[in-house]
Amino acid sequence: MELHQGRRSFQHKCARSGDTLYAGLVITLLIGVWYAQALEVSTGKVPFVEVLNGSSVLLPCTYTSCIGIKNLFFNWHFRSNGTLHKLCEALIPAEGIEPKMHIDHNRVEFVGSSKRSNISILLHNVTFEDQGEYICFARNEKEKYRNHSAVFTLYVVEELKVVDNTLTVVIVSVLGGAIGLIVLIMVIKAVVVAVLSKVQEKNKDCLVSSTGNDNTENGLPASKADTKATPKA
């Protein structure tokens, strides 16, 4: 009796353990799906740019969300020597509705559009003091106001570096010359083969013609046709 009850207790514990494991897997899957649909903020494949002193530069930032947006809040900050300086901020009520920008920097211009999921800004008349990290921040109400951000680094230089393409030009020239030489060799080979083929055909014709003439001169019939006797008078 006690053995039977022990087995039932063990089976009950295993069932509860299996239910707990199943519930954990379901929760993990749901969290994974939620994160896959979450808002993403990106400053592009190249997270930095070099810009000439005194020019204007685009600070790119885009967002994506599979579940859509509602009251999407975003802003830009400039971080230099550990200090954050707010550049601008705005709220996008819903998809396709353009934000009303609040600009905190006199050289900043908003050039994005909610229709393109773009919240980029333009920084005019760049100075060396503008060098540093620019943070694009966004928060979506549909995600319980979870925070998302991406960093874009700006380097200001006196003059842009001239890229030395000498090695590239040399490599391309060598490859082009090699390819051209291979093509030339193939063309010469084709011409030689054609000429040799014609010469062989001509020699063969001459050999056949010469053999026929020799047989005639030696008194041998030049063809297989029977020679008829001259009729008597």
83 φ, ψ to 5°? -105, 135
Are 58 and 118 contained in the same domain? Answer: yes
Which residues, at least 6 apart from 89, have a Cβ–Cβ distance to it below 8 Å? 73, 74, 75, 76, 101, 102, 104
**Predicted TM-score (pTM) above 0.95:** no
Asked if residue 90 and residue 61 are part of one domain, the reply reads: yes
- Residue 220 placed within a domain: no
Note every long-range contact of 190-196, with CB atoms under 8 Å and residues 24 or more positions apart, other chains counting. none
The answer on 147 and 114 residing in a single domain is: yes
Residues 98 and 167 in one domain: no
Its domain, for residue 184, covers 163-200
* Same domain? 114 vs 185: no
pLDDT in tens, the chain (233 residues): 554 555 556 555 555 555 554 544 434 433 443 344 579 999 999 999 999 999 999 999 999 999 999 999 999 999 988 899 999 999 999 999 999 999 999 999 999 999 999 999 999 999 999 999 999 999 999 988 889 999 999 999 998 766 556 777 778 888 888 898 898 888 898 888 888 888 777 777 666 666 555 555 555 554 444 555 555 54
Domain boundary among 157, 192, 227: 157
Helix (H) or strand (E) holding 25: helix 2-36
CA-based angle 52:57:59, to the nearest 5? 135
pLDDT at 199: 79
Is 150 within a domain? Answer: yes
**What is the rounded CA–CA span in Å between residue 112 and residue 97?**
12
User: Domain check: are 106 and 173 in the same one?
Assistant: no
Helix (H, G, I), strand (E, B) or coil at 19: helix
116 is a domain residue: yes
Whether residue 124 is contained in a domain is answered as: yes
pLDDT value for 224: 47
- Both 145 and 103 in one domain: the answer is yes
The CATH number covering residue 127 comes to 2.60.40.10
Q: Is residue 19 part of a domain?
A: no
Evaluate whether residue 205 is within a structural domain.
Answer: no
pLDDT at 219: 53
Split into its structural domains, the chain has a count of 2
Question: For 163, what's the count of Cα atoms within 13 Å in the CB-facing half-sphere?
Answer: 4
Q: How far is CA 217 from CA 67, 72, 77, 221, in A?
A: 103, 109, 110, 9
